[in-house]
Chain A
Amino acid sequence: MGTVSVRIEKVGKRYHIGGALQRSNTLRDALVAAVRRPVERIRHPGSATSSNEDLWALRDVSIGVEEGEVLGLIGGNGAGKSTLLKLLSRITEPTEGVIELEGRVGSLLEVGTGFHAELTGRENIYLNGAILGMTRAEINERFDGIVEFSEISRFLDTPVKRYSSGMYVRLAFAVAAYLEPEILLIDEVLAVGDAAFQRKCLGRMEDVAEGGRTVIFVSHNMQTVRALCTRVVELSAGHVVNSGPPSQVIDDYLKLQWGVDGVVQWEGDERPGDDDVRLAAVKVLGHDWQPTPVVISSQPFRVQLDVDLARVPEGLTIGFDLTTSDGTVVFRSYQTDPSPEYWPTLSPGRNELQCEISANLLNHGRYTVHPRISIDRVRWIVHGGAVSFDVHRDPGESINALVDKPGAIAPLLTWRRGDEQP
């Protein structure tokens, strides 16, 4: 321990976003722009400074990773996680700063990079292996292991275009799993494949880390990060904002992300939505129908969505996802779930829609409401933002139920003997 295997020092990456908007996509545009630019500069001196066209995807980032560490990178969209992995894997260059890497780097930013649909499984193992940086000798040596891991040996000589998506992912991941560099970079690739195969992949990754290799891992799935990583770094808007043991950084991150007092409200143009539909508030109402950050599991409670409508668009669905603190969706509910005669009427102006969640359903712990408003099967209007609340489980009269239970929910269910008529 103690040997630094990745040293990132004061690294920054700048993109020209103004350039992206005004970028010349065709030669003609480029020529026109080349003529126009000096003219514009004479007309509006000093207007087009480069600074307001630049976006620093990463700025002043310094991280040291020791050999054998599994470092998790977390942060919202656009925090700079993926950009950092691209810099580490040399796909793109930093604008400033220095990165030192001790050992061979293998990067897995996508499973099946370079897979070709027309080629067979066997051919793609060699092609993908070479693209990921293995030599032919190494692929030969690991070939049997890869085939066994992927569970597709019967279809080895079938073009991958005839594979099911599950088979495709398994083969692609199997090649990657046998990449054995000293430093492994992984971006959100575990989000694919079925649960059993995911578990197998996680196991393989743990073996890799125990073998003294360094792993840097980006994921939105907090459960995976918590399970795999020895240390977590949180990025926000291109800066390191938190770093430390996984549970601490992840809890801080989740708290920061969502309001925890049972209410989120927006005013005017802040309200998420479009011209017709805007979300004004999300509230969690306790058994007295007042907003609360804490509900008791033995009492019913309600989730209220305040929606402002300029007009009522056809097919408007209003609802939410309820998730656990690690992001697992417990359920999704819409006002249109029951048959139409039970739908609440919507009218222009403020609509306060309440959804009642029955007593004795949720487990002890923190849950989050993610509002979702859409025109059914057409487009999303609101999709994001959230309110968190804590559930305290009232154990009721049973002594056995005092013990904390595993599970996303803890419903109180009926038990009876099979030979008794209900």
Chain B
Amino acid sequence: MATSVSASRAAKTRRVIKPSRGWAALHLAELWEYRELLYFLTWRDIKVRYKQAVLGVAWAVLQPVLTMVVFTIVFQKIVHMPYKPGVVNGRQIPYPIFTYVGLLPWNLFSGALGRAGTSLVGNANLLTKVYFPRLIIPVSAVVAGLVDFAIAFVVFLVMMAVYGIMPSWHMVWLPLFVLLAMAAALAFGLWLSALNVLYRDVQYIIPFLIQLWMFMSPIIYAPPNFAKHPVLGFIYNLNPMAGVIEGFRWALIGGVPPNGMVALASAVMLAVLAAGLGYFKRMERTFADVV
């Protein structure tokens, strides 16, 4: 007992606080030190969400399923949206599955982006009362979306069973696209959350932004043919979610395999993420004074 006390005394940490200048270092080691707090904040977000909702977990099922039903009625029965059904194991993919597979990564992304964007202001009481790496807040907001995603994914497997379709072996690539969707949400979420501390109207922009973004992503439609509009096509492909959604379809129900554009969009997105981290770190030290 005595030795353990003296050992902990010897291992006493020394910390120097002084004004930081310019673009601060990322301190990833510190983020690792606080991993348990990340776990607890994520756990809180998930727990509270399901406790407060009357429907609880059912909500995570209803939301994508109802969206799928509405899309199917509107875009198949009323408007005849052309889509290229993939063929998996000799079976054509029906529209509900086609659009549901698009909704899987989209809901993960849009939910995470919305939560991350308002996360700092929503946790103002923590920012002004206790220290921890501020990055934990938007990261936990993004990670918390994984539970909804997992539930929606189980529903997908049930739907596939009902339609009698076997997913293709490309499914092993799925985690990569899940990671890309989360990285994209974090990349833009970091910018929005830090800006929202300074300018509160950012939180009104976020839902609007997400709505526009949805129509720019191939959820209700298949990737269009941009042969006649190369510029438009380039812009369309810069949307990281276009690549992620097509990647999901390819991995789960067959479709166009990801091409070089996905790599380019991912590279652009990673650049946004890196710049977002830098901006966030730069703003971090004033959050408590401004929020």
Contacts and interface: CB of A to CB of B under 8 A. Distances in A.
B245 to A, nearest CB: 30
Contacts of B18: 94, 97-99
Interface stretch (A45-53, A110-118, A268-276, A361-369): A110-118
Interface centre among B39, B126, B130, B289 (most CB of A within 10 A): B130
B47 A130 contact: no
Given A26-B200, A28-B201, A100 B15 contact: yes
Contacts of B202: 27
A93 B19 contact: yes
Contacts of A88: 17
B52 interface: yes
A218 to B, nearest CB: 14
A253 to B, nearest CB: 27
Contact of A113 (B15, B41, B125): B125
Interface string A10-44: 00000100000000111110100000000000000
Contacts of B126: 113-114, 131
A123 interface: yes
B132 interface: yes
Contact of B289 (A92, A116, A118, A126): A92
A357 B99 CA distance: 83
B40 A26 contact: no
Nearest to B284: A93
A110 B129 contact: yes
A182 B200 contact: no
Nearest to A28: B201
Contact of A103 (B12, B51, B127): B12
Interface centre among B16, B52, B131, B201 (most CB of A within 10 A): B131
Given A92-B288, A96-B19, A24 B40 contact: no
B213 to A, nearest CB: 19
Contact of B20 (A93, A96, A98, A119): A93
Interface string B16-55: 1111100000000000000011011101100110011000
Given A109-B130, A113-B130, A118 B52 contact: yes
B229 interface: no
A131 B132 contact: yes
A105 B15 contact: yes
Contacts of B20: 93
Give the bracket for the number of chain A residues in contact with chain B. 35 or more
B15 to A, nearest CB: 5
Nearest to A101: B15
A157 interface: no
A25 B200 contact: yes
Interface string B51-84: 1100000000000000000000000000000000
Contacts of A104: 12-13
Contacts of B48: 116, 118-119
A15 B290 CA distance: 10
A90 B52 contact: no
Nearest to A138: B36
B36 A135 contact: yes
Interface residues of B, number: 37
A107 B200 contact: no
Contact of A127 (B16, B44, B131, B198): B44
B44 A116 contact: yes
Contacts of B125: 113-114
A207 interface: no
Given A118-B51, A119-B48, A26 B131 contact: no
A110 B285 CA distance: 20
Interface string B247-291: 000000000000000000000000000000000000001101100
B92 interface: no
B47 to A, nearest CB: 7
Nearest to B287: A92
A107 B17 contact: no
Interface string A396-420: 0000000000000000000000000
Contacts of B198: 24, 30
A348 B131 CA distance: 55
A255 interface: no
A383 interface: no
Contacts of B128: 91
A142 to B, nearest CB: 15
A102 interface: yes
B234 interface: no
B14 interface: yes
A136 interface: yes
A95 interface: yes
7 contacts: A26-B200, A90-B17, A91-B131, A101-B16, A107-B130, A119-B44, A130-B37
Top 9 A-B pairs ranked by shortest CB distance?
Answer: A90-B131, A130-B40, A99-B17, A27-B199, A113-B129, A93-B285, A92-B288, A26-B201, A101-B15
Interface of B: 12-20, 36-37, 39-41, 43-44, 47-48, 51-52, 125-132, 198-202, 285-286, 288-289
Given A28-B201, A96-B19, A109-B130, 6 more contacts: A27-B199, A102-B12, A103-B13, A113-B126, A126-B40, A131-B40
